[in-house]
Structure 1
Amino acid sequence: MVALAAVFPIYWLFATSLRRPEDVTSLSPLPWPVSIANYTDAATKVDIAGLIGNTFFVALLSAAAQLLIALLASYAFAMYTFPFRKVLYLAFVGTWLVPFQVTMLPNYVLLTRLGLINTLIGVVLPTLCSALAVLLLRQHLASFPKELVAAAKIDGRSSWSILWTVVVPNLRPALAALGILLFINAWNEYFWPAVVLRQSNSVLQLGLRSFMGTEGDQWGPMMALAGLACLPVLLMYLVLQRHIADAFVRSGLK
């Protein structure tokens, strides 16, 4: 029942997008007769391919950068001993508690001086580091068998080689689950792209505003574009769901 309750809004989204324009407000559970008029209307109103491409670029680059930086930082915090390690870790994770709205203005001023306003790189740059990702990966690495790392050092491997040949292969489920979480978070982001980007260089979430106006909202095309925005995330989850399940199972093992 809980699963049905969670899936029903997604079903209703696609059902509404497949109704005829005059039947968009219908409460019928089945969209009949089926029509793709809302999708064609959306395609004439906005550049769907461009919006999807921009959103995918921003989400993929942001998630990949956060994952890489979190992997390196968590590896250092978990495997090395150095002065003030705990203090630095707490300070690093403490940045997670600072609302993004507090750092929004300094980030905007910095991007303005760098000439990155209304660019996709300007959207990605302030999100390169995720304290949440470091926290989650550090928990996994803290329970990683230190014997494997010690054996690799005895074999003469460098720290960089140990990370990529010993640690990362055993963290694939956790990295896949975290990568999906970071990708979805970047894919769904609205506030920061709305500050940095203009309509001429936009992402899907901002493109939805094209169907909202003072004379009324165009629910059909809006649902069609929202449905297209959901598809990449759903497909990614279907492909990587096994790794997500493994991550939750292994997180409870010591």
Structure 2
Amino acid sequence: MTFESIHEIKNGEQYPVQVTSHYLEHEGTEYELAFAKDITEQKTKQKRERFLHRLLRHDISNKCQIIQGYIQLINKPKIPKEDRELLEKIEKASKEQRRIIEKVRTLKEISEEEPKPIDVNKIIKESVQENRNQAQKQDIEIKNRSYEEPTKALAGKLLKEILDNIITNAIRHAECKKIEVKTKNQEQKTKIIIQDDGEGIPDEQKPKVFKKGYKKGKNKGTGLGLHLAKKIAEAYNGEIKLKNSKLGGARFEIILQKP
């Protein structure tokens, strides 16, 4: 067994330790053998990394907001077409940077979140509702076919990040007219299925989809979305599978453990 604790020496000074203990039996008598390791340097490093991470996110985010503000000031009706196209590229790049910041934040949160019993249907409902307007602008219908009653699985708040990534990916890249989301109960697992009627993903591309940096199509994004979804599912001791949908497009199956 390994756990962290605080060790106090005679002068009252305290420092963090990692304790590893083992139970031993010798000649009918049980003994507990414990080792304590000073982890002050490790904790200091972690604290510094958290500070630098927050500082970096904050500064880059602020710079992106400043860029967006200047774009709005410059973007007037009489701007020449060539200049307007340049402004649109700058704005797109700025928004992309902000999305990357959020992806990095989520990657950090993965290691800090513990799976717990949650109602996946509630998360599905929230995700579908939030993505519906974006889908309607592309003339895409999103249908929530999950169960009305609660469906439990071991996961956390980042499950919504998985759903949002897959649904957004379908809206932007699938060239579809319909997206369906549903749940399926299995004996020891809960399955969330997201499928569309779009172009689908060729078999030779399927192994690459979840790799970091994978990008495809004219509307390609950060190349982090599906990679991030896979990492979150694995943190919940689950997995994501990519198959062909009976609707004609792609079918993503998020498979989670039941409580």
Give the TM-score taking structure 2 as reference length: 0.24
Structure with the largest fraction of strand: 2
Higher-RCO chain (CA-CA 8 Å, sequence separation at least 6)? 1
Structure with the largest fraction of helix: 1
Give the TM-score taking structure 1 as reference length: 0.24
